[in-house]
C-alpha cells in the first residue's frame, strides 16, 4: 500500500526520525482533469527545517499530522488532463506521498532525454537558480575580485563557485571534510578551500587564502564562519545571505557579533536572498546555466539515497554533511 510521510512532531534542535511518521494512504482516484503521479525522485533541502518549526517565515510552516513536501520528480501514470500524457515526467513541489493525484497546477514537464531527471532537482532547478541569481542580483562579481563561499561543497555553493570561476574571479570556500576540500579544488576549480571543522585558526586561514580581502561573500552557512568573514571584507563588498544551516537547529537565539560597524566602515552591502523573489528571471538564468553545462563549464555532484522511507534520514543527514552535492532520494 502507498506510503505518505507526515510531520509527527516539530523538531526541537536537530531533527530526529521520530519527528516523522509514515502512514498508509489509499491509492488516489483520478478525477476529471487530473493526473495520477508516482514519486520518482525527491529532493531534501536544508530550508525544510525552517518549515518544520511553527515560526513565521517566507513560506508557511508544515502542519502537524499533515504530509511534508519538497521538490519532486514524478511520473504521470494515468492522465485525465489534456496537458499531460501517461509516461510524462514532471517537476513539482509535492507532498511526500508515493502516489498522489493532481489537477496539474504547479507542475512542469521535464525531459529525461535532455538531462538526468535528478538534475532538475539540483543544478537545473532551484539549486542552480539560487547560485546564479544570488550572484547576478546581489553579488555582482567582477573579474579579478575575490569571492568567498561558505558551504562551498554543497549543492548551491559548488555551482556558485564554478560560476565565479567562469567570470574570472579568485574563488575560496569552506567545507566540512578534507575530501570535500579536495573536490572543491580538483573538480570545481576553487583556488583555495578550507576545512572549517579542522581549521585551528580560521581567521588566519582566510587571510592567507584571500590576500586581497573578500569582495563578494556567498553565505550558505552563517554562524562562526560568517563572523570571521566580516574581518576580511573589502570596501563596497557585497554579502549574499542565502542560508544559515549552522544555526537552523539552534534552540535559543544565537549570540553574534554586531555587524553594523563592519558594514559602515566598508560601505558594504549585506542582503538577505530568497530565490523565489526573482521568479521572473528564472527562464533567463536557466538558459545561461544550460549553456554553460553544454559547454562543459559547469558540473555537479549528487548523493542518491534509495527508498521512499529513507526520506527523513536523508534530510537529517544534511545536518551531518553526509551529502556531496545535491541530496536526492530515489524511490
Ligand X SMILES: NC(=O)c1ccc[n+]([C@@H]2O[C@H](COP(=O)([O-])OP(=O)(O)OC[C@H]3O[C@@H](n4cnc5c(N)ncnc54)[C@H](OP(=O)(O)O)[C@@H]3O)[C@@H](O)[C@H]2O)c1
Residue 181 contacts residue 158 (beta carbons within 8 Å)? no
Q: Does 216 bind ligand X (CB under 6 A)?
A: no
The grid coordinates of residue 139 equal 553579488
Which of 6, 245, 314, 328 is close enough to bind ligand X by CB under 6 A?
245
Which of 71, 161, 243, 312 is close enough to bind ligand X by CB under 6 A?
243
Q: Does 273 bind ligand X (CB under 6 A)?
A: yes
Distance CA 186, CA 184 (A): 6
Task: Count residues near ligand X (CB under 6 A).
Answer: 33
Distance CA 250, CA 14 (A): 8
- For residue 94, give the nearest of 314, 319, 317, 329 by alpha carbon: 329
Which of 51, 170, 180, 232 is close enough to bind ligand X by CB under 6 A?
180
Q: Does 175 bind ligand X (CB under 6 A)?
A: yes
Instruction: State the nearest-atom distance from the C-beta of 309 to ligand X, in Å.
Output: 20
Query: What is the distance of C-alpha 248 from the center of its chain?
Result: 14
Length of the chain in residues, anyone? 331
Choose the binding region for ligand X from 86-94, 108-116, 283-291, 315-323 (rule: CB under 6 A). Answer: 315-323
**Pattern 154-173, binding to ligand X, x per CB under 6 A?**
xxxx----------------
The residues in 106-145 that bind ligand X, with binding defined as CB under 6 A, are 126-127, 130
Instruction: State the nearest-atom distance from the C-beta of 93 to ligand X, in Å.
Output: 13
Q: Does 36 bind ligand X (CB under 6 A)?
A: no
Which of 11, 15, 46, 312 is close enough to bind ligand X by CB under 6 A?
46
The grid coordinates of residue 296 equal 562543459
Instruction: State the nearest-atom distance from the C-beta of 275 to ligand X, in Å.
Output: 4
Q: Does 282 bind ligand X (CB under 6 A)?
A: no
Residue 194 contacts residue 172 (beta carbons within 8 Å)? yes
- For residue 34, give the nearest of 89, 90, 2, 78 by alpha carbon: 78
Distance CA 245, CA 287 (A): 29
The grid coordinates of residue 24 equal 498508509
Residues found near ligand X in the complex (CB under 6 A): 45-47, 126-127, 130, 151, 153-157, 175-177, 180, 220-221, 223, 242-246, 273-275, 318-319, 321, 323, 326-327
Amino acid at each position: 500500500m502507498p506510503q505518505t510521510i507526515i510531520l509527527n512532531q516539530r523538531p526541537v534542535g536537530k531533527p530526529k526520525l521520530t519527528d516523522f511518521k509514515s502512514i498508509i494512504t489509499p491509492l488516489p482516484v483520478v478525477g476529471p482533469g487530473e493526473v495520477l503521479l508516482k514519486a520518482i525522485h525527491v529532493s531534501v533541502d536544508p530550508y525544510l527545517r525552517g518549515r518544520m518549526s511553527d515560526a513565521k517565515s517566507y513560506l508557511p510552516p508544515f502542519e502537524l499530522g499533515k504530509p511534508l513536501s519538497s521538490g519532486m520528480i514524478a511520473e504521470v501514470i494515468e492522465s485525465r488532463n489534456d496537458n499531460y500524457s501517461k509516461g510524462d515526467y514532471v517537476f513539482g513541489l509535492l507532498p511526500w506521498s508515493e502516489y498522489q493525484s493532481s489537477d496539474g497546477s504547479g507542475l512542469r514537464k521535464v525531459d529525461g532525454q535532455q538531462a538526468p531527471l535528478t538534475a532538475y532537482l539540483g543544478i537545473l532547478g532551484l539549486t542552480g537558480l539560487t547560485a546564479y541569481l544570488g550572484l547576478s542580483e546581489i553579488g555582482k562579481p567582477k573579474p579579478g575580485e575575490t569571492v568567498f563561499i561558505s558551504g562551498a561543497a554543497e549543492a548551491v555553493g559548488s555551482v556558485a563557485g564554478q560560476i565565479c570561476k567562469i567570470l574570472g574571479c579568485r574563488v575560496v570556500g569552506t567545507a566540512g571534510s578534507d575530501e570535500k576540500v579536495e573536490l572543491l579544488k580538483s573538480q570545481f576549480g576553487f583556488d583555495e578551500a578550507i576545512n572549517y571543522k579542522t581549521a585551528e585558526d580560521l581567521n588566519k586561514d582566510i587571510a592567507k587564502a584571500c590576500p586581497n580581502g573578500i569582495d563578494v561573500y556567498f553565505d550558505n552557512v552563517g554562524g562562526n564562519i560568517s563572523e570571521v568573514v566580516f574581518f576580511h571584507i573589502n570596501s563596497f563588498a557585497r554579502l549574499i545571505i542565502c542560508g544559515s544551516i549552522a544555526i537552523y537547529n539552534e534552540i535559543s537565539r544565537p549570540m553574534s557579533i554586531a555587524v553594523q560597524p563592519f558594514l559602515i566602515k566598508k560601505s558594504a552591502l549585506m542582503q538577505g536572498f530568497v530565490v523565489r523573489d526573482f521568479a521572473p528571471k528564472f527562464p533567463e538564468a536557466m538558459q545561461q546555466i544550460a549553456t554553460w553545462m553544454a559547454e562543459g563549464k559547469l558540473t555537479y555532484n549528487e548523493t542518491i539515497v534509495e527508498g521512499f522511507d529513507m526520506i527523513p534520514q536523508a534530510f537529517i543527514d544534511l545536518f551531518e554533511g553526509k551529502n556531496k552535492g545535491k541530496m536526492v532520494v530515489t524511490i
